[in-house]
């Protein structure tokens, strides 16, 4: 009988009965929040009936609760309170299952779901380390990070690996070499290449270029890293006075009257330029055109590729001690909004111990010029390239720096002069040093110039008013060398120290100690300083002022000159032995 009754009942009747409800009718319940009151006119009749039915089973109660919840707004306090009440009565196993389900449903990849341009813009606010972590999150993030070429281009500039778009363009001109040495050929990258450019890694060039510069910088700053070293015998026992180099060539001038051109990659001597009859004391090149000044009082123009002298400029009556090449740059805008370019063509500025500065048009030696064997050698008054002699200094002109129409010169007469090449006149005479001026740099960005003197001080000058804005004290001997980057001014002195200053306000940041003699040469950028003295070539961190490493540890003589780029350091050194002195170019 019992079995028969059970089979005839529906499923609902099989569930266990619920406790008796409260005797109070449901309409008489008190609500604390008026928003929870139900307006019968706005609800369907079947929902109204839910208040009147007394649930007899668990399923009916569940159904009733689901119906009641529909009366509550999604963001109401009542709905939240009910949810928390139900969760508080739930066992741990159910809560764990619920937690896993909720985590999956709430997980949203915002970066992947946004348009690529917006995702890329968001990621552009991150630094290199954060981007490296982001590309490990998922395949989609990896693709976005690697395809966002603008991010890596901007990082190259903001992290001071390049100075601007022009330098980036120059590095990308060697695209095949860049990709063959630094492109990461793993499966994810290859899939990305296939998807974006039908097999071409064009979009990945900027990231590859950043990777190259970042890894090379890490090697610079790693004291344990041992770079490849090339030693080049040069100029016999003579002093190297000038040094410049690029990826193809190293050019040195010495007091043996000769200019040597070596292969950067192998160290082989490519050309020896002979013609000066006195020691070479100034040297600079622009494209295929090399300019040199010497104690024979002449300036010579050379065709680098052909290895021959094309012009001899005469007019100075003493040693040509310094020179600079000015190329056309924008110095302002016209009334119609067009850029004003000056100089209209490259100019050569030479300074001499005869107290004068000469301005010349620079003859450009193109690589495809025919070797006609003609040497232009004319007196100053007959030379078509001669423009003007700038007179005013009363002692030897020791240093020149120029940009656009502005040239700054420092002299042993203890003054700094500012010249305007548009009028070929002296614009300002900066007085204040108590001894000879040995070094100057031009700060176009801040409209200032900086000078270093034998009076042990560095001075910052306003190019608009000519006033001395700051005197930087700290050195105790001749400040013979200055160098300026975007974020750091560095001075080097005969007191065996270098100092790093804030170029904005002249505040002292760091004193670099470690050399045992006068600093004979140095160069810096926004990340590092390389400095040379007797038997020492040291590397320093610009941002912290910390000593990093000795780049050469076996030098027995002087370090005469040093230059570096992002990849290598080239130094002109003297090796002493029982057999005599030997001049060597060391490349590391």
Q: What is the DSSP letter of 37?
A: -
- Average pLDDT estimate for 560-572: 94
Which residues lie below 8 Å from residue 535, measured CB to CB, with a gap of 6+?
516, 555, 556, 557, 558, 559
pLDDT for 506 equals 95
Alpha-carbon gap, residue 76 to 251, rounded angstroms: 80
Owner of token pair 């966002």: 148
Q: What percent of the chain has pLDDT over 70?
A: 87
The model's pLDDT over 398-413, given as tens digits with 9 standing for 90+, comes to: 999 999 999 999 999 9
pLDDT for 200 equals 46
Q: How is 150-174 classified by DSSP, letter by letter?
A: HHHHHHHHHTTSSSSHHHHHHHHTT
Q: In what order do the strands lie in the sheet with 437-443?
A: 437-443, 448-453, 458-462, 468-472
Alpha-carbon gap, residue 110 to 121, rounded angstroms: 13
From the CB of residue 237, how many other CB atoms can be counted at a distance below 10 Å? 12
- On the 0-12 / 13-18 / 19+ scale of CB atoms within 10 A, 529 is buried
pLDDT for 45 equals 58
Q: In this structure, what is the dihedral angle of CA atoms 315, 316, 319, 320, given to the nearest 10 degrees?
A: -80
| Confidence band of 203 (pLDDT split at 50, 70, 90) | low
pLDDT for 192 equals 46
Q: In what order do the strands lie in the sheet with 308-313?
A: 280-286, 289-294, 299-303, 308-313, 376-378
CATH fold, domain 112-220, is Monooxygenase (1.20.1280)
Q: In this structure, what is the dihedral angle of CA atoms 391, 397, 402, 408, given to the nearest 10 degrees?
A: -70
Bigger pLDDT: 69 vs 261: 261
CB 242 within 8 Å of CB 281: yes
- Average pLDDT estimate for 518-529: 96
Is the pLDDT assigned to residue 77 strictly greater than 70?
yes
Alpha-carbon gap, residue 6 to 534, rounded angstroms: 107
| Confidence band of 241 (pLDDT split at 50, 70, 90) | very high
Alpha-carbon gap, residue 254 to 358, rounded angstroms: 23
| Confidence band of 471 (pLDDT split at 50, 70, 90) | very high
Contacts 24+ apart (CB under 8 A), 329-334: 329/403, 329/404, 331/404, 331/405
Nearest Cα neighbor of 278 from 380, 376, 352, 348 is: 352
Nearest Cα neighbor of 354 from 391, 324, 312 is: 391
Which sequence spans correspond to the domains of the chain?
A: 2-87, 112-220
Task: Give the CA diameter of the chain.
Answer: 137
The model's pLDDT over 167-185, given as tens digits with 9 standing for 90+, comes to: 888 778 777 777 777 766 5
What values do phi and psi take at 63, rounded to 5?
Answer: -65, -40
Nearest Cα neighbor of 482 from 463, 461, 500 is: 500
CB 239 within 8 Å of CB 581: no
Alpha-carbon gap, residue 256 to 253, rounded angstroms: 8
**Strand, coil or helix: 271:** strand
In which element (H, E) is residue 443 found? Answer: strand 437-443
The model's pLDDT over 269-300, given as tens digits with 9 standing for 90+, comes to: 999 999 999 999 999 999 999 999 999 999 99
Give me the chain's average pLDDT, please: 86
Owner of token pair 């004391």: 281
- Average pLDDT estimate for 530-534: 97
């Amino acid at each position: 009988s019992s079995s028969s009754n059970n089979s005839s009942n529906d499923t609902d009747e099989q569930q266990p009965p619920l406790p008796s409800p409260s005797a109070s009718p449901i309409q008489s319940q008190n609500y604390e929040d008026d928003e929870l009151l139900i307006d019968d006119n706005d609800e369907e009749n079947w929902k109204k009936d839910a208040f009147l039915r007394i649930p007899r089973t668990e399923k009916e109660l569940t159904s009733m609760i689901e119906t009641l919840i529909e009366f509550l707004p999604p963001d109401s306090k009542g709905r939240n309170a009910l949810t928390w009440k139900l969760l508080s009565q739930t066992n741990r196993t159910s809560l764990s299952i619920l937690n896993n389900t909720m985590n999956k449903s709430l997980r949203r990849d915002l970066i992947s779901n946004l348009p690529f341009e917006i995702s890329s813009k968001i990621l552009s606010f991150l630094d290199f380390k954060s981007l490296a972590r982001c590309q490990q999150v998922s395949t989609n993030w990896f693709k976005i990070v690697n395809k966002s070429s603008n991010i890596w281009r901007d990082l190259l500039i903001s992290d001071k690996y390049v100075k601007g778009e022009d330098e980036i363009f120059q590095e990308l001109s060697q695209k095949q070499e860049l990709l063959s040495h630094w492109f990461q050929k793993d499966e994810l990258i290859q899939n990305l290449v296939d998807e974006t450019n039908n097999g071409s890694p064009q979009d990945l060039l900027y990231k590859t270029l950043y990777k190259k510069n970042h890894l090379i910088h890490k090697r610079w700053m790693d004291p344990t890293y041992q770079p490849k070293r090339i030693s080049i015998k040069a100029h016999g026992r003579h002093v190297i006075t000038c040094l410049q180099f690029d990826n193809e060539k190293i050019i040195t001038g010495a007091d043996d009257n000769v200019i040597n051109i070596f292969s950067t990659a192998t160290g082989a001597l490519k050309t020896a330029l002979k013609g000066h009859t006195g020691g070479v004391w100034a040297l600079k090149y622009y494209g295929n055109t090399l300019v040199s000044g010497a104690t024979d009082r002449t300036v010579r123009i050379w065709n680098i590729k052909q290895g021959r002298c094309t012009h001899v400029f005469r007019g100075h009556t003493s040693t040509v001690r310094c020179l600079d090449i000015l190329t056309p740059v924008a110095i302002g805008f016209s009334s119609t909004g067009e850029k004003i370019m000056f100089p209209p063509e490259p100019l050569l500025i030479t300074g001499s111990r005869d107290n004068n500065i000469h301005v010349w048009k620079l003859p450009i030696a193109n690589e495809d010029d025919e070797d006609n064997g003609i040497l232009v050698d004319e007196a100053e008054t007959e030379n078509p390239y001669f423009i003007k002699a700038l007179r005013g200094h009363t002692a030897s002109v020791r240093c020149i720096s120029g940009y656009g129409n502005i040239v700054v010169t420092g002299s042993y007469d203890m003054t700094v002069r500012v010249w305007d090449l548009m009028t070929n006149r002296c614009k300002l005479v900066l007085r204040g040093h108590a001894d000879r001026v040995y070094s100057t740099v031009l700060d176009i960005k801040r409209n200032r110039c900086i000078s270093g003197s034998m009076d042990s001080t560095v001075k910052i000058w306003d190019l608009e008013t000519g006033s001395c804005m700051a005197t930087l004290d700290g050195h105790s001997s001749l400040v013979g060398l200055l160098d300026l980057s975007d974020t750091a001014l560095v001075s080097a002195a005969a007191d065996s120290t270098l100092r790093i200053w804030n170029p904005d306000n002249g505040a002292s940041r760091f004193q670099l100690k470690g050399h045992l003699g006068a600093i004979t040469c140095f160069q810096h950028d926004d990340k590092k300083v390389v400095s040379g003295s007797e038997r020492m070539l040291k590397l320093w961190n610009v941002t912290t002022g910390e000593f990093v490493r000795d780049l050469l540890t076996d030098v027995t003589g002087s370090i005469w000159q040093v230059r570096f780029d992002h990849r290598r350091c080239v130094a002109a050194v003297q090796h002493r032995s029982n057999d005599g002195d030997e001049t060597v170019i060391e490349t590391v």
